[in-house]
């Protein structure tokens, strides 16, 4: 992982917070929601199209995700809402963030848990997955000073036999020096409070943070199911799409 720092004073800030925070083995829980879709200018938009965006945003507002972590482990997941399982608009938005992400700092293991074709799988992710560039841009989020970090990377898509270009933007705070974030966007010297996953439309913002949580009712280790690599996962996806086209 490559992290570019713009200010030397940043190192001292991080060191000071890490010394304080490392004394605690408490459990922290972060609640995220999805930023609404932007409604473009009226030019070229029909009444039905504008109503469609409003409807999507109404469903999107119901989507909530949790990041629960200790000093060394984290799990990120969608908050299940069984009463909305028949709401097609809600499900369409929730599926964007339905995978679970696990991070084990001590053993340097990152895993994404998902269901593919009715089968549960643990997909092994590169531990140092993102090459972040930390900029000098800052802003306040929930009274925390946050720094903007950006990242770009290429992934080969076996299904389309082409290379996809991805980007991400994260706002993190060294005041909570845990290297975790939503949807596996991690590896920064501070907790990610806001994140924009490129052109996917997945844009998280923080709702609240709970410290010293008792009985969080989450498991910090992935389920006991099959592990596969990202390459193997891509091959399975390509096969699934091929079968669907027959």
- Three-state SS for the chain is CCCECCCCHHHHHHHHHHHHHCCCCCCEEEEEEECCCCCCCCCCCCHHHHHHHHHHHHHHCCCEEEEEECCCEEEEEECCCHHHCCCHHHHHHHHHHCCEEEEECCCCEEEEEEEECCEEEEEEECCCCCCCEEEEEEEEECCEEEEEEEEEEEEEECCCCEEEEEEEEEEEECCCCCCCCHHHCCCCCCEEEEEECHHHCCEEEEEEEECCCCCCCCCCCCCCCEEEEHHHHHHHHHHHHHHHCC
> Above 50 in pLDDT, residue 9?
no
| Predicted local distance difference test score (pLDDT) of residue 201 | 79
* pTM score of the predicted model: 0.85
pLDDT of residue 45: 80
Residue 12's pLDDT band, with cuts at 50, 70 and 90, is very low
Residues 71-120: tens digit of each pLDDT:
999 999 999 999 999 999 999 999 999 999 999 999 999 999 998 778 89
């Amino acid at each position: 992982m490559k992290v570019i720092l713009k200010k030397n004073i940043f190192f001292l800030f991080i060191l000071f917070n890490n010394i304080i925070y490392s004394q605690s083995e408490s459990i922290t829980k972060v609640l995220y929601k999805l930023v609404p879709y932007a409604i473009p200018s009226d030019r070229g938009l029909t009444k039905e199209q504008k109503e469609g965006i409003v409807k999507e945003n109404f469903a999107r507002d119901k989507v909530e995700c949790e990041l629960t972590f200790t000093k060394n482990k984290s799990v990120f997941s969608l908050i299940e809402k069984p009463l909305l399982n028949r709401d097609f608009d809600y499900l369409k938005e929730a599926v964007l963030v339905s995978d679970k992400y696990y991070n084990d700092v001590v053993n340097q293991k990152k895993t994404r848990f998902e269901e593919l074709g009715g089968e549960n799988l643990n997909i092994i992710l590169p531990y140092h997955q993102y090459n972040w560039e930390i900029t000098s841009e800052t802003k306040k989020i929930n009274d925390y000073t946050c720094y903007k970090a950006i990242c770009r990377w290429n992934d080969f898509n076996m299904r389309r036999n082409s290379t996809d270009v991805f980007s991400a933007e994260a706002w993190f705070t060294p005041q909570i020096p845990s290297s975790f974030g939503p949807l596996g966007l991690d590896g920064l010297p501070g907790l990610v409070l806001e994140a924009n996953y490129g052109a996917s439309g997945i844009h998280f913002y923080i709702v609240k943070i709970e410290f010293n949580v008792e009985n969080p009712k989450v498991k910090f280790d992935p389920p006991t199911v099959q592990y596969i690599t990202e390459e193997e996962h891509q091959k399975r996806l390509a096969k699934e799409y091929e079968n669907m086209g027959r």
